[in-house]
Amino acid sequence: MEVSRRDFLKTTALTGTAFVLGLYLPEKSRVTAAESTAKKLAPNAFVRIGEDNRITFLIGQAEMGQNTFTTLSMCIAEDLDADWEKTDIISAPVHPAYNHAWAPMQLTGGSSSIYTMQAEMRKAGASIRQMLMSAAARRWNTQISRIKTKDSMVLNPATGARLTYGDLIEDIANLEVPQNPKLKSPEAFKLIGKPVKRHPKEAWAKVRGEAEFGIDVRLENQKYAAMIHPPVFGATVKNFDGSKALQRQGVHRVKQTPFGIAVIADHWWQAKQALDDVRVVWNAGEFKQVSSESLRQQYRAMMEKPGASARKEGDTAKAFQQAAQILEADYEFPFLAHAPMEPLNCTVHDQGGKAGIWTGGQMQTVYRNACAEALGLEREAVTYHNTYLGGGFGRRAVPNMDFILDAVFAAKGEPWPVMTLWAREDDIRMGNYRPLRINKVRVALDQQGNITALESKLVGQSIMADTMFASFIQNDVDPFMVEGLATHHYDFQNNDIQVYRVKLPIVPLWWRSVGHTHTAPVVEGIIDEAAHAAGRDPVDYRLNLLTEKRMVDVLEDVARISGWKTRKKEQNVGYGVAVVESFKSFVAQVAKVRVSGNQFEVEKVWCSVDCGFAFNPLNVENQMMGGIHFGLGPVKFSALTVKDGMVEQSNFHDYKVVRMSDAPDVEVSILNSGEEPGGIGEPGTPPIIAAVANAIFDATGKRYRSQPIEMG
């Protein structure tokens, strides 16, 4: 699938860029002239320099709030020595030059954008800077060592001469591409590692309502589709009659898509109203009998037999026989919807022989290819436009492509571009949920109260199964199901982790931090129970058993900033702690909870994070805060329940999410350990779920193991 960067350069040449050359080509770069009034240089896939000295960064990752546009651009700008205030960031087209290091596709997920791409971005900036310096040295007939750069300018301190980068774009067109450009030393950083705010253009566009999300796409003669989706999971359309709906004003079409029935009208509200006039007969399927309760029974019955082994070491049976004490615990996690604020949407224009597709997506290549296949086109005949995402949290990286395919098939063969927009109810009820899982665990404690064995039986759907990522499943174990559980950092000596995979017509999907929202509450819950059973302090108890220094460091740090050792015992107030590695980062949190009757409020959260190196500490702080609030939803009240094969919730009145009134103060401490960098979009979420449950125990003496916590 590796396509040379030369191919990319051809592509940009065709789009009207004046001068195009390939920095990454091993041979001498070439200039390609094209018709254009304003001259522009596109030295590589990530940078364009205009003769007006404005520099544009092209980012192939999705911007969904995690700040990848800004942070990756900071990496380029740093080593390019660009004037940050005179830069722009745009969403790159679909092209292999922007593929993720992990897969032959553009993919934004796994909190991986910065740590997988920062080195390449820095090199991209440094290469161009070195070429600009060479070009200036040639013009001024001097040595490159005498040249300096600053704020998108090349300077000759000896003579006072200066040129903008834009002045030099034609000069560098024929230069050799430096293969190993010199990178800035960290002491010289102006952007990397500094608390840089979201790029000013993006920040202002977002507060002025000018940022373009998928839902804001407006094309000439555009129509809008609203959807009817199956009432019961797994149901299919038997037949439908749209004749009455077609009589309504503005309605143009009623048609079937792979996931339901689309009504297309001049305006979305007309289409939405017309749904009431469409008669659909469904093949309900067998799932009609299913409820959350029946699923729980089914899952528990599976635990009777041995599951697939995710981790087996030592002699667990013997450890339990010799145990001074055995603790058993049972954890249940309901289905959860991501519920990003921007309802799911996608716009497609089938132009016969070519097509355009507009959406905010986390898997651009996959969506582009699916659109091409559905419309019978070559992939290159489909132009994909990635807008800002009004939240992702995993929902916009969707292997079954539900909202994408609805839109492609709604627009297929139509003379106009069609935006297919789901109502909030479609989003809450259409599946692609954080899956329901049950985990039954036992730990054996020795005379000193230390855990000597962990046994865990985890039942639920695998997210990877039946997707393009199914090859991750080895020996019947989906590693994303047991991440954080099979990979815990405690020295228990004996471990027996078994998993059971279930298949359901409710499609499962990664939800901010993937497997960790199921596993962190278990590992960090049971160890808290063990600490209590041993009569030991929960922080000290963990420190004694941890085998990973980075876990120890964040735990000690959070104990320090929260005043853990000197915390006052106060009636109805509790403190809970948790420490989790996820997405290669280490996060410890302490939650302070106040209980009143059957209610609890999380008043304050202290968070210590080691992501190796914080490329943008301000954003690390923002992501920790956001990750904590996201995780508080399922702790407090977010849950989807199934009855008669349907999800009972439909909108924010019954699928409750965290509001400002629920949001605690958060204090973040960042440890720049200098270790391998990790992600920051997701790791803030897992610990809070356990920390709050542990804090409620501290306040009340009662353990709440399942989500959401229902006291009383």
DSSP string, 598-623: TEEEEEEEEEEEE-SS-SSHHHHHHH
Pick from 511, 704, 431, 442: which is nearest to 593 by CA?
Answer: 704
CA dist., res. 122 & res. 144, Å (int)? 20
Question: Starting from the edge strand earliest in sequence, which strands make up the sheet with 87-91, in order?
Answer: 32-33, 19-20, 40-44, 47-50, 55-59, 87-91
What distance separates the 2 farthest-apart alpha carbons in the chain? 83
Give least dist CB 631 to other proteins, A: 9
Give least dist CB 660 to other proteins, A: 5
CA dist., res. 472 & res. 514, Å (int)? 14
Asked whether the beta carbons of 508 and 434 are under 8 A apart, the reply is: yes
- Give 102 or 204: the residue with its C-beta nearer to other proteins: 204
Give least dist CB 697 to other proteins, A: 25
- Give 541 or 630: the residue with its C-beta nearer to other proteins: 630
Which tokens belong to 66? Answer: 């995690």
- Give 108 or 456: the residue with its C-beta nearer to other proteins: 108
CA dist., res. 574 & res. 591, Å (int)? 8
- Give 316 or 638: the residue with its C-beta nearer to other proteins: 638
Which tokens belong to 483? Answer: 């991440």
> What phi, psi does 608 have (nearest 5°)?
-115, 130
- Give 659 or 702: the residue with its C-beta nearer to other proteins: 659
- Give 125 or 633: the residue with its C-beta nearer to other proteins: 633
- Give 538 or 664: the residue with its C-beta nearer to other proteins: 664
- Give 172 or 628: the residue with its C-beta nearer to other proteins: 628
Amino acid at 311: R
> What phi, psi does 252 have (nearest 5°)?
-110, -35
Residue 654 pairs with which residues in a beta bridge?
A: none
Give least dist CB 42 to other proteins, A: 28
Residue 606, C-beta contacts closer than 8 angstroms, at least 6 positions apart? 558, 561, 562, 589, 590, 666, 667, 669
Pick from 236, 226, 243, 244: which is nearest to 281 by CA?
Answer: 236
Give least dist CB 689 to other proteins, A: 14
CA 516 distance to own-chain centroid: 13
- Give 227 or 666: the residue with its C-beta nearer to other proteins: 666
Give least dist CB 82 to other proteins, A: 20
Give Rg (Cα) of the chain: 28
Give least dist CB 684 to other proteins, A: 9
- Give 234 or 391: the residue with its C-beta nearer to other proteins: 391
- Give 612 or 633: the residue with its C-beta nearer to other proteins: 633
HSE of 90, CA atoms in CB hemisphere, 13 A: 11
- Give 339 or 522: the residue with its C-beta nearer to other proteins: 339
- Give 210 or 570: the residue with its C-beta nearer to other proteins: 210
Give least dist CB 313 to other proteins, A: 38
Q: Which helix (H) or strand (E) holds 137?
A: helix 113-140
Give least dist CB 282 to other proteins, A: 24
Give least dist CB 337 to other proteins, A: 11
Give least dist CB 80 to other proteins, A: 23
Give me the residues that bind other proteins (CB under 8 A), please: 64-67, 197-198, 200, 202-204, 206-213, 215-216, 218, 224, 249, 267-270, 338-343, 388-393, 421, 423-424, 618, 622, 625-630, 651-653, 657-661, 663, 665-666
- The angle at the Cα of 598, spanning 607 to 656, to the nearest 5 degrees, equals 65
- Give 300 or 424: the residue with its C-beta nearer to other proteins: 424
Number of Cβ within 10 Å of residue 643's Cβ equals: 12
Asked whether the beta carbons of 54 and 386 are under 8 A apart, the reply is: no
- Give 384 or 393: the residue with its C-beta nearer to other proteins: 393
Measured over the CA atoms of residue 478, residue 479, residue 484 and residue 486, the dihedral's sign is positive
Pick from 495, 508, 493: which is nearest to 547 by CA?
Answer: 493
CA dihedral 515, 506, 384, 122 (to 10 degrees): 0
Pick from 616, 642, 620, 555: which is nearest to 73 by CA?
Answer: 616
Question: Starting from the edge strand earliest in sequence, which strands make up the sheet with 251-257, in order?
Answer: 251-257, 260-265, 223-228, 418-421, 345-350, 355-359, 382-386
Do β-strands 32-33 and 40-44 pair in parallel, antiparallel, or remain unpaired?
unpaired
DSSP string, 258-283: TTEEEEEESSHHHHHHHGGG-EEEEE
Give least dist CB 426 to other proteins, A: 11
Give least dist CB 23 to other proteins, A: 32
DSSP string, 225-263: EEEE--SSTT-EEEEEE-HHHHTSTTEEEEEEETTEEEE
- Give 189 or 213: the residue with its C-beta nearer to other proteins: 213
- Give 272 or 288: the residue with its C-beta nearer to other proteins: 272
Give least dist CB 17 to other proteins, A: 29
Give least dist CB 533 to other proteins, A: 34
Give least dist CB 507 to other proteins, A: 20
Give least dist CB 32 to other proteins, A: 37
Pick from 363, 469, 407: which is nearest to 64 by CA?
Answer: 363
Amino acid at 592: K
